[in-house]
Structure 1
Amino acid sequence: MSKDDIHPLATGRGGCIASDRITIDGLPVRFMYRQQPHNPQDSGWAFLSGTEDDAYMNDAAKHDIYDVNTIANYDRSIIPFLDAPVGSVFEKVPGATDFVLITDWAPSRS
């Protein structure tokens, strides 16, 4: 996505982690979770396609830090959930149009 393609959809929300499966491969966001932010510029959000395994995510070259607004431009379906509290986890299963709250998952503490 070029800089000219980015519109102000979810501005002022800080940074997030997103995998290359979204930003490079063009897959939709199907898994998102919010951790405690590491600093004032961090939203705590991580956005994944749901196809990333541990080996993929352990490769730092396969994900990066982006402004939340940038990821909202890749997939607008995340926008209604951006005010969810720290600890929130949402998933959109293939074929579904809506995210659902997940209560039995937490990120690993590596």
Structure 2
Amino acid sequence: MSWELDNANERNKMAPYTFYIPGSDVIDKLRLGDLVKLIFLGESETDGPAGEKMWVEITERYEERFKGVLTNEPYDLKGLKAGQEVTFKVEHICDTQYDDPSSSDWDYYFDMKVVVSRDVLDRREFNFMLRDAPNNDQDSGWSILSGYEEDEYLQDAANLQCISIGVILNMDDSILSIIDERPMCAFERNEDGVFWKIDDYDWDGYLNG
């Protein structure tokens, strides 16, 4: 077989705040004729490895094992075509046709943006957080730094990026308890690895500097 199914559960474990999988309540609803989305991996018809998310109609279910029929025509994967039978398990399902109340959490983590330094992304570490007034509905107001950046580094806009807050939570979700703090607050990580609020932060210097 020139293709295989990706494990959506494993993807979710690696990126729990940016990779959605349906909750157990949704999985329990699945019946014959329902559509589920799977991730197919294989070789591209044109150039190297490829992956495509496609819908499969369930034709058989045995608890957590399924059979189905591919309803999409693959864009570029070898050895696959619409109407082909597919055997899969719960861990392969990355979406369904059902509304999932929990999906709003992923929407928030994906849509809400933070400003981070490239150093945070390179190190996959952050030790300072500051929340200013948001500029729009998708701007959280948070700026997140590793704590190792020099002033000259931060003055270069190329060293700053706007990303989804879920990417930061994938690194360290201990900040869930503080991400809803009101604007004009600052936190830094102490020697025990815990974020503490900076009560005497120099806001005049920050706002007028």
| Class of the TM-score when normalised by the shorter of the 2 chains | 0.7 to 0.9
Give the aligned partner of residue 6 of structure 1.
Answer: 15
Distance (Å, rounded) in 2 between the aligned partners of 1:77 and 1:62: 25
Distance (Å, rounded) in 1 between the aligned partners of 2:153 and 2:208: 16
After superposition, the CA RMSD in angstroms is 2.0
The structure 2 residue matched to 1:25, chosen from 109, 123, 128, is 123
The structure 1 residue matched to 2:199, chosen from 90, 103, 109, is 103
Shift of 1:109: 4.2
Query: Is residue 2:149 matched to residue 1:52?
Result: yes
Give the aligned partner of residue 78 of structure 1.
Answer: 175
Describe the superposition over 1:29-81 as per-residue Cα deviations: whole angstroms up to 9, x where unpaired.
Answer: 11001000011110000111111122111111212000111111122222221
Percent identity over the alignment is 30
Q: Any unmatched runs of 5+ in structure 1? A: none
Distance (Å, rounded) in 1 between the aligned partners of 2:188 and 2:138: 25
Distance (Å, rounded) in 1 between the aligned partners of 2:199 and 2:114: 21
Q: Any unmatched runs of 5+ in structure 2? A: 1-10, 19-104
Distance (Å, rounded) in 2 between the aligned partners of 1:99 and 1:78: 8
Distance (Å, rounded) in 1 between the aligned partners of 2:154 and 2:192: 24
Distance (Å, rounded) in 1 between the aligned partners of 2:179 and 2:144: 11
Mean alpha-carbon deviation: is it higher for 39-48 or for 9-18? Answer: 9-18
Distance (Å, rounded) in 2 between the aligned partners of 1:108 and 1:49: 21
- Comparing both structures, which one devotes a greater share of its residues to strand? 2
Q: Which has the higher contact order (CA 8 A, sep 6+)?
A: 1
CA contact (8 A) 1:30 1:92 kept: yes
Query: Is residue 2:161 matched to residue 1:64?
Result: yes
Q: State the TM-score, normalizing by the size of structure 1.
A: 0.82
Give the aligned partner of residue 133 of structure 2.
Answer: 36
Shift of 1:103: 1.8
Q: State the TM-score, normalizing by the size of structure 2.
A: 0.46
